[in-house]
Structure formats: C-alpha cells, structure tokens
Amino acid sequence: MTAPAGATAASSVLSTPALEVRDLVVRYGRGRKARSSPPAVDRVSFDIAPGETLGLVGESGSGKSTIGKAVLGLQPPSAGTVRVHGQDITGMSLRERSRRVADLRVVFQDPYSSLNPTRTIGQTLVEPLRLMGVSGAEAVQKARSGLESVGLPGDAVDRYPTQFSGGQRQRIAIARALVCDPKVIVLDEPVSALDLSTQAQVLNLLADLRDQRGLSLLFIAHDLGVVRFLSQRTVVLYRGQVMESGPADAVGLTPRHPYTLALTAAAPVPRPAEQAARRNAREAAGFGMASAASPGATGCPFVPRCPLSTDVCVEQRPPLRLIDQSSTACHHAERVPAL
C-alpha cells in the first residue's frame, strides 16, 4: 500500500537533522601555507536531531571551537558541507545567512565581552530582530519576553551590561539568541567563565529551554562531566579528528578510546578519595602529556601519548568502528581498561 503524500512529507521532515556536518575540513592560512599545514579540523561528521543536544569535547586545540566557527560562517571550511534543516549553508556569506538562516544562533563563552557596554540590553536584543525586519514596539516586546524566558525582568531592557553579574549577562546572551525563535543554537563554552553554582543554574536553564522549545544545541566544552549533564550524545575530538562518539553516558562512564579515558580520569570530582584514585589510575596507565608537536600525516594523532600504541597506529589512521555503544577510532579499543 502506498503511503499518503502528506505522511511521506511529514516523515521526511522528522528524519531531516536540524544540523548536519559532513566531512568538514578546516585549514588556517592561505595558498601553499594552508595546503601544507595540518588541518585544524580533519574530516569531522555529525548530525543533531531536532530537540537534541550534541556535546563537542576535547582539550584546547582539539578543533571544537573551530567547528563552531565553521558552522556559524565565521571560518570558511576548506572542504565538507554544513546543512541546517537540509539547506546547504556552507558557502553562504554572513549577510546572506542573516537573511535566510534565522534558525541558527550562537551564545559565546565570555559574558563580559559578548555584550556592548555602551548599548542598553534592549538595543542589543532588538538588533537581530531589526535585521529580520521586526522593529518598533513588536521588537521591544520580543526583547522583554526573551529576558523573562531566561529568568530576568522585562524592564532590564533599559539597563546596561555593567549593571549585571556574569551569570546574568550570560542569561542576556541566551535571550539574545532566543528572540529570533531559532531551532539550532551553537553554545561555545557558555559556562566555563562562570563559578560552579552559576554554571549549574545556566545549565539547568539551557536544559529547560531545550525541552520547552524543542531546541537543537551544539554544546562545545572541555569538561566531560558538564557535557554529560546537558548532552544526549558526545563527540570527543583530538587534533581535529573524532576519537570517539556515542551516547553521553556511554562515552562518559565506559570510554572506549584511550584519549577519552585520559580526559575522564583527569576530570575533577567532588570526592577527594575518588579524585586521588583517578589520578593514580591515569598515571599508572602511562598517558603522556599534551605536546605542541604536529601529528604525522598518517596514523592516529594520539600515538605520542598513548600507552597502547603499536606500529599499526603509526602507519594507519584508525576508522571509526562500533564498540559496545560508542564509535571509536582506535585499533586497540578492546584493550582500553575500565575506569
């Protein structure tokens, strides 16, 4: 029996990722220099479903923020594609994106530098609406509603950023993203500049907004514990390559890649005895420290730090393969010890 046309169309909409990144490569520099330098992002692919949060995690220099910039159009990709709800936006200019991709917004890391101190909160929140053709009383009302949705009073539109704390400023930055009623938000280390109690408040707010509005979130962070709290799935990056990806609990509790294990063992926990046990286990495993040296053109980039590496790791880049619940780029994933 043939399905009704309407049912087919509805099924297609439901199956289309909110954000789709395929074989993304980003190289910095121009001309010969860019071609000869190692890529900051090397063939990274992932999808985010409507209403889902995907966490990108890794050390500094892993390429996670570069991926965010490429998705937002702030850094041109060298190869690969970025699609929002099936629409290819890879080659769009920022001006064209502002007109055609209202569904995609961003919250930056630093709540102090992301807001203009000379403009009122209302002026800041109204600006993206003005670019969409919304102005006057309607834009001001949307700004007030946006502030109220993040737990701030609507009359804050008349105040300046210096009158707010860091946590309140980050709420304002979230409200600025929400006023356009987006479906996809890139969160670039949105809580790393906040104290622990404020971090928890902002993370809970983001989780509530995601569930209430059906938002898709690309959550960029360096802390696996924070990523696990907010994300349904996690992608672990090292030197611009995907080391492991899978359900957040599986990646965080039973890592199948040596690098993910090292990240998990290094993450702080509130219990001193458990922290000491993790540190001892990490040292006993023999993980090397991060190095400024560039990885080889072939093989696994984690080789210089990996206690499990062999000749095959040096010679062949490991493909992502399913081990338990996670996809892991490791030739020796079966030998990775438990936490």
Compute the Cα dihedral for 136, 138, 139, 141 and give only its sign: positive
Average pLDDT over residues 158-162: 95
Residue with tokens 């006023």: 179
Average pLDDT along the chain: 87
**pLDDT at position 98:** 72
User: Is position 80 within any domain?
Assistant: no
Confidence of residue 337 (pLDDT cuts 50, 70, 90): confident
Q: How would you list the strands of the sheet with 104-107, edge to edge?
A: 104-107, 184-188, 216-221, 53-57, 233-238, 241-247, 326-328, 321-323
Query: d(Cα 49, Cα 242) in Å, to the nearest integer?
Result: 19
Look at residue 214 and tell me whether its pLDDT is greater than 80: yes
Average pLDDT over residues 132-156: 92
* Percent of the chain whose predicted confidence (pLDDT) is above 70: 86
User: Is position 133 within any domain?
Assistant: yes
Strand partners, 245: 235, 327
**pLDDT at position 284:** 62
User: Is position 209 within any domain?
Assistant: no
User: Is position 64 within any domain?
Assistant: no
User: Is position 175 within any domain?
Assistant: yes
Among 134, 149, 181, the domain-final residue is 181
User: Is position 66 within any domain?
Assistant: no
By mean pLDDT, which of 34-43, 230-239, 320-329 is the weakest? 34-43
**pLDDT at position 101:** 74
- Closest by CA position to 46, among listed 77, 67, 74: 67
**pLDDT at position 5:** 43
Confidence of residue 12 (pLDDT cuts 50, 70, 90): very low
User: Is position 248 within any domain?
Assistant: no
Confidence of residue 211 (pLDDT cuts 50, 70, 90): very high
> Could you tell me the CA-to-CA distances from 334 to 45, 253, 278 in Å, in that order?
24, 16, 20
Among 131, 153, 181, the domain-final residue is 181
State how many domains the chain has. 2
- What would the pLDDT profile of 24-33 be if each residue is shown by its tens digit? 999 987 777 6
> Could you tell me the CA-to-CA distances from 62 to 163, 221, 255, 256 in Å, in that order?
35, 11, 18, 18
Whole-model pTM above 0.75? yes
Look at residue 124 and tell me whether its pLDDT is greater than 50: yes
User: Is position 321 within any domain?
Assistant: yes
Average pLDDT over residues 134-138: 87
Buried b / exposed e over 66-104, threshold 16 CB at 10 Å, is: bbbbbbbbebebbebebbbbeeebbebeeeeebeebbbb
- What would the pLDDT profile of 215-266 be if each residue is shown by its tens digit? 999 999 988 889 999 999 999 999 999 999 999 999 988 999 999 988 887 7
- DSSP letter, residue 154: G
| Domain with 166 in it | 121-181
- What would the pLDDT profile of 85-101 be if each residue is shown by its tens digit? 999 999 888 778 776 67
Look at residue 155 and tell me whether its pLDDT is greater than 70: yes
Strand partners, 81: 22
